């Protein structure tokens, strides 16, 4: 296996993540033993306008036909029961069987929605992720989480369904809007902080290249970040334990998104703020933590809005809506040191409020 392929070992559900670009898709499909024939492509209009012609030509050239193309409106609002039903209707009308692959071409929304359709159509179809956003390339396309939102919260309906294959084209990041690019950076910084101290130093030292989207540095950064995620999920496929550390900053972030109103912050902005609060709480519990260094890195992630107008108490209460609440107790991910995270259920509301206040002062 080349040095631009990551293998995710999960027994019968093992798969490869190939950072080899869209042109390499046919040979990767062959290696993954995907059946050539009819297939389904799910994407959104923004992505379709740039990449669908190329994907279609690539698929047809390797024998995939007919292709059922399903275009879902861009944006988080499409990750719901209505568009799921649309995929079901279109897919079932096209006479799929259990070997018919679904290609998810897009960012996190398309990956989650098409992935969940693949998880549940005929009790499971082969799924190929072609992640087009930074967050999808280093995070959401890896690990098998799929799902849709419910009016009561995000990702409340879903399934674990491992992809058969992930094919990533890092060149696609050059066309990504700044806001989405920065949103993905937050998850990369998170991967580094929870699992790889060297990568934290590496990122800090190369921040200018990151902002300039230096292709050579991106190749390196994305492989390292994706490998961290792949290593964690392959040790804990169903989120029984270790995988929880990937939620560093996320319980705070979900409360921010909920209380500020969805759309006010990108997910990455909310995660960046959430990590700052979680770092503060970590520092309260572990006074040897180099909090200033961590905060310096986190402050490099630009955030357009503030949460100064929100009430720390209300935000704290909103944290209890998180899916990971266990028996009414908050489970927070804290840093023991840079590159090492753990789950704590011992944090008081007073400590959490100090965390909130630390990201409210200007």
3-state secondary structure of 236: coil
Give the total of residues touching a copy of itself (CB under 8 A). Answer: 36
First to last CA, the chain: 49
CB of 123 to a copy of itself, least distance (A): 4
Stretch binding a copy of itself (CB under 8 A), from 80-88, 200-208, 259-267, 271-279 = 80-88
What is the H or E stretch that residue 154 is in?
strand 153-160
Of 69, 71, 62, give the one whose Cα is nearest residue 37: 62
Q: What are phi and psi of 253, to 5 degrees?
A: -60, -45
Among 1, 2, 3, 152, binds a copy of itself (CB under 8 A): 152
Which listed residue (28, 79, 129, 145) is catalytic?
A: 145
Phi first, then psi: what are they for 318, rounded to 5°?
-65, -25
Residue 337 bears catalytic tag: no
**Residue 159 binding a copy of itself, by CB under 8 A:** yes
Catalytic residue chosen out of the listed positions 28, 258, 267, 276: 267
Element housing 83 (H / E) = helix 81-93
Comparison of 207 and 320: residue with beta carbon closer to a copy of itself? 320
Q: Distance between CA 243 and CA 232 in Å, rounded? A: 6
- Asked whether 280 and 354 are in contact (CB, 8 A), the reply is yes
Of 37 and 45, the one with the shorter C-beta distance to a copy of itself is: 37
Q: Are 277 and 191 in contact (CB under 8 A)?
A: no
* Contacts to a copy of itself from residues 227-246, by CB under 8 A: 238-239
Known catalytic residue at 187: yes
Residue 150 binds a copy of itself, judged by CB under 8 A = yes
Q: Which of 99, 204, 351, 358 binds a copy of itself (CB under 8 A)?
A: 99
**φ and ψ at 14, to 5 degrees?**
-60, 150
Q: Note the residues at the interface with a copy of itself (CB under 8 A).
A: 12, 35, 37, 81, 85, 88-89, 92-93, 97-99, 119-124, 145, 147, 150, 152-153, 155-160, 238-239, 323-327
Give catalytic residues, as residue numbers: 123, 145, 187, 229, 239, 243, 247, 250, 254, 267
């Amino acid at each position: 296996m080349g040095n631009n392929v990551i293998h995710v070992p999960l027994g019968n559900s093992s798969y490869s993540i190939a950072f080899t670009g869209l042109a390499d898709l046919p040979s990767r499909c062959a290696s993954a033993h995907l059946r050539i024939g009819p297939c389904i492509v799910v994407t959104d209009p923004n992505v379709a306008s740039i990449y669908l012609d190329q994907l279609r030509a690539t698929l047809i050239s390797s024998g995939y036909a007919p292709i059922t193309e399903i275009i879902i409106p861009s944006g988080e609002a499409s990750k719901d029961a209505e568009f799921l039903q649309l995929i079901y209707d279109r897919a079932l009308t096209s006479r799929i069987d259990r070997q018919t692959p679904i290609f998810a071409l897009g960012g996190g929304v398309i990956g989650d929605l098409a992935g969940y359709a693949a998880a549940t159509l005929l009790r499971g179809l082969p799924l190929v992720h072609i992640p087009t956003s930074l967050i999808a390339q280093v995070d959401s396309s890896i690990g098998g989480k799929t799902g849709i939102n419910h009016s009561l919260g995000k990702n409340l309906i879903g399934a674990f369904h491992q992809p058969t294959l992930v094919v990533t084209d890092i060149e696609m990041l050059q066309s990504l809007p700044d806001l989405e690019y920065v949103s993905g950076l937050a998850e990369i910084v998170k991967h580094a902080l929870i699992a790889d101290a060297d990568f934290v130093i590496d990122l800090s030292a190369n921040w200018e290249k990151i902002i300039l989207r230096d292709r050579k540095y991106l190749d390196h950064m994305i492989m390292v970040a994706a490998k961290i995620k792949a290593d964690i999920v392959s040790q804990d496929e169903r989120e029984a334990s270790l995988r929880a550390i990937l939620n560093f900053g996320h319980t705070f972030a979900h409360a921010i998104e909920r209380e500020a109103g969805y759309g006010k912050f990108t997910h990455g902005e909310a995660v960046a703020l959430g990590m700052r609060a979680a770092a503060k709480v970590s520092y309260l519990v572990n006074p040897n933590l180099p909090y200033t260094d961590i905060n310096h890195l986190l402050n490099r992630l630009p955030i357009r809005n503030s949460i100064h107008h929100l009430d720390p108490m209300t935000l704290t209460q909103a944290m209890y809506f998180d899916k990971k609440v266990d028996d009414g107790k908050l489970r927070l991910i804290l840093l023991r040191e840079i590159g090492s995270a753990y789950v704590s259920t011992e944090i008081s509301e007073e400590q959490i409020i100090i965390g909130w206040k630390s990201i409210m002062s200007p």
